[in-house]
Amino acid sequence: MNIEEVTETFELMDEWEDRYRFIIDLGRNLPDFDESDQTEENRVHGCTSKVWLVYDKKGEKIVFKGDSDAHIVRGLVSIILMIFSHKTPKEILDTDAKSILTDLGLSQHLSPMRTNGLFSMVERIKAIGESFR
């Protein structure tokens, strides 16, 4: 699934309860995350829940993997990875994640702490993108 398909699915759902369930399902479909990568170095700070993010450069593109100890946050990690993974550093830096997340309605329907965590993930990914420029 990609971010465009998530947006289309959200548009078909009238209730936020359905969207939350969908987000949780997205998190269940995240690729396995190696426990050895659940280190303090890979942890995204600013999130209430524990979130880990790792990356690998494959050619010109950066591939991200992530995980969380909370179901809803795993789904949010999945959405963030759809937005940024398999892109070049320039594409990562040029991506307006705030606009995408606002269009999905996430910032209006998540707690302030979850929203802060979401944008902490975005900042971390942008910093990684910047490090390869």
Cite the active site residues: 47
Using CA atoms, how far apart are residues 75 and 16, in angstroms rounded to an integer? 14
Burial classification of residue 25, based on how many CB atoms lie within 10 Å of its CB (0-12 exposed, 13-18 middle, 19 or more buried): middle
φ/ψ of 57, rounded to 5, equals: -90, 120
Instruction: Provide the residue type at 59 as one letter.
Output: G
